[in-house]
């Protein structure tokens, strides 16, 4: 019993030392939880098939039949409106509370074509009573407990809209979203494919709360204007397992986007997983375990004077980028920079002055980029506290850092084929990297505490942290490992060698991993499993 108490006390001491060290180093808190549970809608088992309300694959417009099914479902207390296999043309639809619009396998819900604009000729997409202003294709406002689900497809027939916009961009500014919800609560859009939207594909709009997008496939040509994949303007959002290729931001988190978690997504063509350009009160963002292939940008944080204020606690972790033009882009100028950092003069700071702070990129591998990245704040308000932890960048040209303080590189490098790794440092505070070679000058394995007379910390890493499925141990030589819970219980132990994977069955939580070398020396590290 005494030995068990001592072991528990040792774990507690390590735990407190770790938290202190984290605060001293200024790294992201081990205990940050980016998003609380987001509830999903729940529906009665009642079903309403649109063909029972007059919908037909031969009809030129099924909107009346589909809307009648939605209204009947709502009046009955809720349920599922079923769109069966087949292609159904429709004008805009309005969602009601407690309705799940389900597209079965093989179902294609197709928006009416653009036509000549303004709802002409008959059978084209109607305006909403105002010239060149159009209702969103599937829209909900002030409704709750709603979903669009299934494995079918929503087709926007966007090409004519894009051509009209390119011909007259100042006229056709109100192109519809395929799906948009404003001031709604408990919303889910899952499983379906969205393609060729006239404008944005999916928007969780202002004053909404508790929204989920999962297992979506979103596609539009890279040349299609303003066809964002998913836009957010509200708090408490989960976006999981989505594949997005489009003509603008793959995801854009705009003002009041708070407690947003994006995980396990794949981004193809598009402008990246972005914050902005409207960024007021965008806080508590996590983008984790995502892959970027050939996007224009990757980690894209962009705004300008008058659009920002209180951009805080934004983390991208466990990221892979390949062939991304601008892998790291953090800017208080949009859409373009001044010619030089000194070409712009400081202005008065107001509530909507961009105030980027506490931004982290960790556990990232970036290859094949022409530019390593850009961090560029305002002369009156610098970007503050940007941390690169275990980030390896390979690019043609180096990184620009202007009007930014507290830019820290830990165990991170920038490898370039032309010029210096850091090419501009106007009014910048940067540490942990050689500006010329891009090699790390500071490599502190985070949350590591040495024990015993022969500290192993110089030859051992436990990563990534937090880990998702298993933790990898990199060590010089063979070792024995022991994993403890914070209550002092031994949960797993065994032998290992370099690059061993351990802890694959651990549930989400906080653990202490202790490694003992062949000489008897040992070290411990606190890890978080997600």
Q: What is the 3-class SS of 225-263, one letter each residue?
A: CCCCCEEECCCCEEEECCEEECCCCCEEECCCCEEEEEE
Q: 291-293 and 297-302 as β-strands: parallel, antiparallel, unpaired?
A: unpaired
Q: State the residue range of the domain holding 284.
A: 249-445
Say yes or no: 179 and 227 in one domain.
yes
Q: What is the DSSP string of 64-110?
A: HHHHHHHHHHHHTT-EEEEE-SEEEEE--EE--TTEEEEE-TTEEEE
Q: 243-245 and 217-219 as β-strands: parallel, antiparallel, unpaired?
A: parallel
Say yes or no: 211 and 284 in one domain.
no
3-state secondary structure of 205: coil
User: Of 274, 404, 283, 260, which is closest to residue 327 (Cα–Cα)?
Assistant: 274
Residue 375 included in any domain: yes
CA dist 480 to 182, 217, 493, 498, Å? 55, 44, 7, 11
Say yes or no: 367 and 395 in one domain.
yes
DSSP structure class, residue 18: H
Residue 36 included in any domain: no
Residue 363 included in any domain: yes
Say yes or no: 276 and 232 in one domain.
no
Residue 258 included in any domain: yes
Say yes or no: 229 and 292 in one domain.
no
CATH for 303: 2.160.20.10
Residue-wise over 252-282: b if at least 16 C-beta within 10 A, else e?
bbbbbbbbbbbbbbbbbbbbbbbbbbbbbeb
User: Within 13 A of 371's CA, how many CA atoms are on the CB side?
Assistant: 18
Domain count, the chain: 3
The predicted pLDDT at position 491 comes to: 76
The predicted pLDDT at position 427 comes to: 98
Which contiguous run of DSSP H or E holds residue 386? strand 383-402
Rounded to whole angstroms, the Cα distance separating 223 from 219 reads 12
Q: Of 175, 208, 236, which closes a domain?
A: 236
Residue 313 included in any domain: yes
3-state secondary structure of 22: helix
Say yes or no: 116 and 226 in one domain.
yes
Task: Specify whether the CB–CB gap between 403 and 341 falls below 8 A.
Answer: yes
CATH for 461: 2.60.40.3080
Residue 480 included in any domain: yes
Per-residue pLDDT of the chain (530 residues; tens, 9 = 90+): 444 444 444 444 344 333 333 332 332 222 233 455 799 999 999 999 999 999 999 999 999 999 999 999 999 999 999 999 999 999 999 999 999 999 999 999 999 999 998 889 999 999 998 888 999 999 999 999 999 999 999 999 999 999 999 999 988 888 999 999 999 999 999 999 999 999 999 999 999 999 999 999 999 999 999 999 999 999 999 999 999 999 999 999 999 999 999 999 999 999 999 999 999 999 999 999 999 999 999 999 999 999 999 999 999 999 999 999 999 999 999 999 999 999 999 999 999 999 999 999 998 999 999 999 999 999 999 999 999 998 999 999 999 999 999 999 988 999 999 999 999 999 999 999 999 999 999 876 543 333 233 333 334 455 455 665 566 665 546 777 788 777 677 777 777 765 566 666 566 777 777 777 766 667 777 777 76
Say yes or no: 213 and 87 in one domain.
yes
Say yes or no: 437 and 452 in one domain.
no
The predicted pLDDT at position 446 comes to: 40
Say yes or no: 491 and 405 in one domain.
no
Say yes or no: 278 and 415 in one domain.
yes
Say yes or no: 356 and 491 in one domain.
no
Q: 243-245 and 326-331 as β-strands: parallel, antiparallel, unpaired?
A: unpaired
Residue 520 included in any domain: yes
Rounded to whole angstroms, the Cα distance separating 342 from 334 reads 17
Task: Specify whether the CB–CB gap between 319 and 263 falls below 8 A.
Answer: no
The predicted pLDDT at position 526 comes to: 73
Say yes or no: 453 and 474 in one domain.
yes
Q: Of 189, 213, 236, which closes a domain?
A: 236
Q: Of 392, 425, 445, which closes a domain?
A: 445
Residue 122 neighbours by CB under 8 Å, 6+ apart = none
CA dihedral 177, 178, 182, 185 (to 10 degrees): -160
């Amino acid at each position: 019993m005494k030995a068990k108490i001592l072991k528990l006390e040792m774990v507690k001491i390590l735990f407190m030392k770790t938290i202190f060290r984290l605060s001293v180093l200024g790294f992201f808190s081990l205990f940050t939880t980016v998003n609380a549970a987001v509830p999903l809608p729940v529906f009665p088992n009642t079903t309403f098939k649109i063909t029972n309300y007059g919908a037909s694959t031969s009809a030129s417009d099924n909107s009346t039949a589909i809307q009648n099914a939605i209204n009947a479902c709502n009046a009955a207390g809720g349920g599922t409106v079923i769109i069966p296999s087949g292609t159904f043309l429709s004008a805009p639809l309005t969602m009601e509370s407690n309705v799940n619009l389900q597209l079965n396998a093989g179902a294609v819900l197709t928006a009416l074509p653009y036509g000549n604009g303004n709802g002409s000729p008959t059978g084209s997409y109607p305006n909403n009573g105002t010239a060149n202003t159009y209702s969103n294709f599937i829209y909900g406002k002030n409704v709750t407990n709603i979903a669009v689900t299934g494995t079918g497809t929503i087709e926007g027939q966007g090409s004519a809209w894009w051509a009209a916009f390119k011909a007259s961009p100042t006229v056709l500014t109100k192109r519809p979203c395929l799906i948009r919800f404003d001031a709604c609560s408990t919303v889910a859009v899952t499983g379906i494919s969205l393609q060729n939207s006239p404008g944005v594909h999916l928007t969780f709009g202002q004053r909404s709360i508790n929204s989920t997008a999962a297992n979506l496939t979103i596609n539009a040509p890279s040349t299609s204007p303003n066809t964002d994949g998913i836009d957010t303007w509200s708090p408490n959002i989960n976006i999981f397992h989505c594949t997005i290729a489009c003509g603008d931001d793959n995801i854009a988190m705009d003002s009041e986007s708070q407690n947003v978690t994006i995980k396990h997504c794949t981004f193809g063509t598009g402008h990246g997983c972005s914050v902005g350009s409207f960024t007021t009160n965008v806080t508590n963002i996590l983008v984790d375990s995502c892959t970027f292939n050939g996007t224009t940008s990757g980690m894209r944080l962009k705004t300008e004077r008058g659009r920002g204020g209180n951009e805080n606690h934004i983390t991208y972790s466990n990221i892979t980028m390949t062939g991304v033009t601008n892998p790291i882009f953090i800017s208080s100028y949009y859409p373009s920079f001044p010619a030089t950092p000194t070409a712009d003069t400081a202005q008065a700071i107001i509530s909507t002055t961009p105030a980027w702070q506490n931004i982290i990129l960790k556990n990232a591998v970036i290859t094949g980029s022409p530019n390593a990245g850009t961090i560029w704040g305002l002369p009156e308000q610098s970007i503050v506290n940007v941390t690169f932890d275990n980030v390896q960048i390979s690019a043609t040209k180096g990184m620009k850092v202007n009007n930014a303080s507290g830019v820290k590189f830990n165990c991170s490098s920038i490898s370039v084929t032309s010029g210096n790794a850091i090419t501009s440092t106007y009014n910048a505070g940067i540490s942990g990297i050689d500006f010329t070679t891009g090699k790390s000058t500071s490599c502190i394995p985070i949350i590591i505490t040495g024990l015993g007379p022969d500290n192993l910390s110089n030859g051992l890493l436990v990563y990534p942290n937090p880990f998702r499925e298993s933790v990898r141990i990199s060590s010089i030589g063979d070792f024995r490992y022991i994993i403890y819970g914070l209550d002092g219980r031994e949960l797993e132990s065994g032998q290992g060698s370099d690059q061993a994977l351990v802890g694959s069955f651990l549930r989400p939580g906080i653990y202490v991993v202790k490694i003992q070398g062949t000489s008897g020396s040992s070290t411990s590290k606190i890890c978080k499993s997600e």
